[in-house]
A and B are shown apart, each in its own frame.
Chain A
């Protein structure tokens, strides 16, 4: 299993992501944003968290113009698996690989803390090791995590089982930290090979550091 991790200027979670997948036994490779192709031996490409291009203009907006994003589009269109975490999720929506957009948090604050999430759908590679309605504890750290999609788009997400995770409390009741439509924290595309979420599963790999609930999520990509 080989995982490529995209690095833009301002990305800052690439090494955490590398560490997380290495801990699961994967081979990893950092992919600089100027690369014009995705190496053919990649089983998964991760757009990691951070502040690509300082979040100038809009989070993820300038990153989408990088050469590697053209290659990533082709890779995804050919069925390649892609995971966008936090800023990576913003980049994937800006690029159009995932529907919707991420707006400024409703309360305008940057939120950095552990948050509970409920698994909504698990018929996909990412969450196949989690149970539907299972509550996981995963850190969030974002300023622009307020997921927006119009009513028609939302219906389509539900109809195709593309809603993956919702923000809840520890008991699984909706608890929306940032104003996201229907408290949505993560989604996938229609063909279920492109995934995006604002929370950071790669920061939940060790029980000693608060939670290891991210392991089962990332493990879903292995031997999928």
Chain B
């Protein structure tokens, strides 16, 4: 079982890297770019067959280490 964790800055917390990428894209003529957010993706291979249990364990990992919930939100996707 595989867990895909996406970590992004919370809405309302300025994403300086996203803004820099947005400006760079706009500066290169990509006029349709409205907003850019830069985050992290963490891929975890697990010895776990129960998807619900896997998700629960990964949520615990996010709270303990993978995300700083003062400034970041996380999303978890479990793949078979």
Query: Residues on A close to B: CB < 8 A?
Result: 57-58, 61-62, 64-65, 93-94, 99-101, 103-108, 146, 148-149, 179
Contacts and interface: CB of A to CB of B under 8 A. Distances in A.
Given A108-B20, A148-B70, A57 B65 contact: yes
Interface string B54-80: 000000000011101011000000000
Contacts of A106: 14, 16
Given A108-B20, A148-B13, A103 B65 contact: no
B17 A100 contact: no
Given A148-B70, A148-B71, A104 B65 contact: no
B68 A58 contact: yes
Residue of B14, B40, B68 with most partner-chain A CB within 10 A: B68
27 contacts: A57-B40, A57-B65, A58-B68, A61-B65, A61-B68, A64-B65, A65-B64, A65-B65, A93-B70, A99-B70, A100-B70, A101-B68, A101-B70, A101-B71, A103-B9, A103-B13, A103-B16, A104-B17, A105-B16, A106-B14, A107-B16, A108-B20, A146-B16, A148-B13, A148-B71, A149-B70, A179-B16
Interface residues of B, number: 13
B17 A108 contact: yes
Contacts of A104: 16-17
A148 to B, nearest CB: 6
Interface in B6-49: 9, 13-14, 16-17, 20, 40
A200 to B, nearest CB: 23
A148 B13 CA distance: 8
A148 B12 CA distance: 11
Contacts of A101: 68, 70-71
A93 B69 CA distance: 11
Contacts of A58: 68
Residue of B9, B40, B65 with most partner-chain A CB within 10 A: B65
